[in-house]
């Protein structure tokens, strides 16, 4: 439909004007601002469904109120349910029933509500009432005054009876009244105060149906206040019920030129520097959410306050958008992005290329410089994998470069049986090479010889009731196995010179991607009725070129893993392959059950347990005279007795 960009509300077509219902009309659509230059004719723009939202005039509301035996669903129960269904200012139906709470009604509740134990003795139990009420409220927006109380009791009743709670939207008239009314108008936002203020036809009296009827009149009275604010949709109503930072709301105009569809958005600051980079399948909706109450992160509020403009880059599909986001974050390192800012900080374990190789933690993978395992997100994970390898293999841990012709002295690891002492000539180059070959074989294909001795030791420690030691070793093995699996998956894609993949776009067409050694070099779409092969030929002609480093990744690890996840989604088709796309065998497939058990064990851990490690001080503060030294952080002196 076409909406005029200027003029008053009377210029709307008749079928677009909201009808009045009694003396409380549903708010009409906000008219556009008047034109400052009368000589310019009115422009008509195409309004989208996202702009309109769900109109309040066509939304069905079920206003519900409960009477209970107490204030908490943990130790109280429902005694009465009353509900009124309304749409467009018209009452469509009512629901009312007493409920047997299964216990006596406290005397003070009887005095407050007038509901006694004798009244509910013959009433149905909540298990028989809930299905009827949920059917009455199906497809409607639930409304209550102090909604957490009423909806909390209903949810608890559903859990107790095994009834599924519907995923329905809700509106709290108490919160809405706090947003729309000032203290000069009403001293508080209680239902007993709002009902006479809005001239409700029913006075609240702590009976469910009467209170629900009064809440309906309060809801319609509050709706009258929404028109001047331009709130005409259910989505805008939900945004109004939560506090929005005023600075953020005033910058909503920054999202005016953002298109719909998949892509990347960049918030830019006063010096046009990137503040934050994000991605979405619907750019317009996602960017607009930063200026609503849906965004509650404090750092995002700070970022929006600094932003001066928003740059949007439309993409062919979600994979291209995610890849562009990664590249922009890695290039500009925006201050408000937390993830993927420093891909160069990833850690790898390298088996050095020398006569007696050892493990070394590095940040770069250099072709031909040895065997690399990883990447690891942090130093702790790399150290755990290193410890697991040293538990399984007697690799040397010294950092000096050894010569097979110049022996040196041994270290304590030789006496502990943790090293074969190649430094002292107790191990030849060939004997040591057979030990290092176990790690090479694990990284390249089969980790069984490396991992099975460790798993056997975990079982022995458990049998000896040394559960803490067994748990530590188990976690180290899990980190090692995950690193091997990750490396093998990356290597399988790095060995493919070119790969063309397609996914259904949901509209009868195909989303296409061309990948070269793990790097996305071209992306496009083949709409329904067009040739996929011809589209791929055009993409290939304009695709990005990559260096000729056979067998090495042409992109960051994060980008390659994005491509792999996109490939593994259901419905993905492999169109063309240059080279061989295959996983190593047997790989880590036989250890999938072990990893699943580790993850299941983590899920059973106490979520409130303090998992932080106790740190130690290398130089404790010196305490003299019962007080810490100046500048120290020691224990304060004890208070002297009085």
Edge-to-edge strands, sheet with 263-268: 274-280, 263-268, 309-314
Return all residues near 118 (Cβ < 8 A) that are at least 6 apart.
Answer: none
How far apart (Å, rounded) are the C-alpha atoms in residues 64 and 137?
9
Query: In 10 A of CB 367, how many CB atoms?
Result: 9
206 is catalytic: yes
Q: How far is CA 310 from CA 50, 219, 272, 284, in A?
A: 19, 37, 10, 11
21, 145, 206, 355: the catalytic one is: 206
Strands 44-46 and 2-4, by their bridges, are antiparallel
State yes or no: cis peptide before 375, omega within 30 of 0: yes
How far apart (Å, rounded) are the C-alpha atoms in residues 614 and 163?
46
Chain center to CA of 620: 42
H or E stretch at 511: strand 510-516
On whether the CB atoms of residues 393 and 403 are closer than 8 A, the answer is: no
Return all residues near 524 (Cβ < 8 A) that are at least 6 apart.
Answer: 316, 512, 535, 538, 539
Tokens for 282? Answer: 């619907």
How far apart (Å, rounded) are the C-alpha atoms in residues 280 and 263?
6
| Alpha-carbon dihedral sign for residues 606, 608, 609, 615 | positive
Edge-to-edge strands, sheet with 359-362: 359-362, 347-351, 371-376
Q: How far is CA 193 from CA 174, 190, 198, 211, 226, in A?
A: 11, 5, 9, 12, 20
Residues designated catalytic: 206
């Amino acid at each position: 439909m076409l909406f005029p960009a200027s003029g008053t509300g009377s210029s709307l077509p008749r079928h677009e004007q909201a009808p009045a219902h009694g003396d409380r009309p549903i708010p009409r659509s906000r008219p556009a601002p008047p034109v400052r230059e009368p000589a310019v004719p009115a422009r008509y723009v195409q309004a989208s469904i996202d702009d309109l939202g769900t109109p309040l005039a066509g939304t069905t509301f079920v206003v519900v109120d409960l009477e209970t035996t107490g204030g908490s669903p943990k130790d109280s129960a429902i005694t009465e349910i009353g509900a009124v269904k309304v749409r467009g200012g018209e009452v469509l139906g009512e629901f009312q029933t007493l409920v047997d709470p299964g216990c006596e009604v406290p005397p003070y509740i009887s005095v407050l509500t007038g509901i006694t134990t004798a009244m509910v003795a013959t009433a149905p139990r909540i298990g028989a009432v809930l299905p009827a009420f949920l059917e009455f409220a199906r497809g409607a927006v639930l409304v209550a005054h102090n909604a957490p109380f009423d909806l909390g009791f209903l949810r608890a009743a559903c859990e107790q009876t095994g009834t599924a709670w519907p995923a329905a939207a809700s509106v709290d008239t108490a919160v809405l009244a706090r947003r729309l009314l000032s203290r000069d108008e009403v001293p508080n936002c209680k239902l007993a105060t709002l009902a006479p203020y809005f001239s409700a036809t029913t006075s609240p009296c702590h009976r469910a149906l009467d209170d629900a009827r009064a809440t309906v009149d309060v809801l319609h009275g509050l709706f009258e206040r929404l028109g001047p604010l331009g709130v005409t949709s259910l989505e805008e109503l939900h945004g109004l019920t939560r506090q929005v930072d005023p600075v953020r709301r005033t910058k909503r105009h920054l999202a005016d030129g953002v298109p719909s569809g998949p892509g990347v958005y960049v918030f830019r600051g006063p010096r046009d520097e990137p503040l934050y980079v994000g991605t979405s399948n619907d750019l317009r909706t996602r960017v607009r959410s930063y200026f609503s109450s849906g965004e509650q992160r404090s750092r995002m509020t700070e970022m929006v306050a600094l932003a001066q403009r928003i740059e949007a880059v439309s993409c062919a599909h979600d994979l291209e958008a995610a890849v562009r986001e990664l590249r922009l974050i890695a290039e500009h390192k925006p201050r408000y992005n937390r993830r993927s800012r420093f891909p160069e900080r990833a850690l790898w374990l390298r088996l050095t290329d020398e006569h007696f190789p050892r493990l070394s933690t590095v940040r770069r993978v250099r072709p031909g410089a040895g065997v690399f395992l990883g990447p690891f997100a942090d130093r702790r994970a790399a150290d755990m994998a290193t410890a697991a390898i040293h538990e399984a293999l007697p690799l040397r841990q010294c950092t000096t470069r050894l010569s097979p012709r110049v022996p040196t002295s041994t270290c304590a690891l030789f006496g502990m049986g943790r090293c074969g002492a190649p430094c002292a000539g107790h191990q030849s180059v060939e004997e040591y090479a057979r030990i290092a070959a176990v790690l090479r074989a694990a990284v390249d294909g089969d980790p069984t010889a490396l991992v099975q001795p460790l798993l056997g030791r975990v079982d022995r420690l458990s049998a000896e009731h040394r559960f803490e030691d067994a748990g530590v070793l188990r976690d180290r093995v899990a980190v090692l196995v995950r690193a091997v699996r990750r490396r093998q998956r990356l290597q399988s894609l790095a060995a493919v010179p070119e790969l063309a993949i397609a996914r259904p776009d949901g509209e009868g067409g195909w989303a296409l991607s061309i990948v070269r050694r793990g790097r996305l070099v071209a992306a496009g779409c083949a709409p329904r009725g067009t040739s996929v092969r011809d589209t791929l030929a055009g993409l290939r002609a304009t695709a990005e070129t990559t260096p000729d480093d056979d067998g090495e990744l042409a992109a960051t690890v994060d980008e390659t893993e994005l491509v792999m996840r996109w490939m593994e989604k259901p419905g993905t088709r492999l169109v063309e392959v240059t080279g061989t796309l295959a996983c190593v065998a047997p790989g880590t497939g036989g250890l999938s059950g072990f990893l699943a058990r580790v993850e299941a064990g983590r899920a059973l851990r106490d979520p409130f347990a303090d998992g932080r490690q106790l740190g130690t001080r290398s130089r404790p503060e010196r305490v003299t005279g019962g007080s810490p030294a100046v500048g120290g952080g020691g224990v304060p002196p004890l208070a002297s007795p009085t």
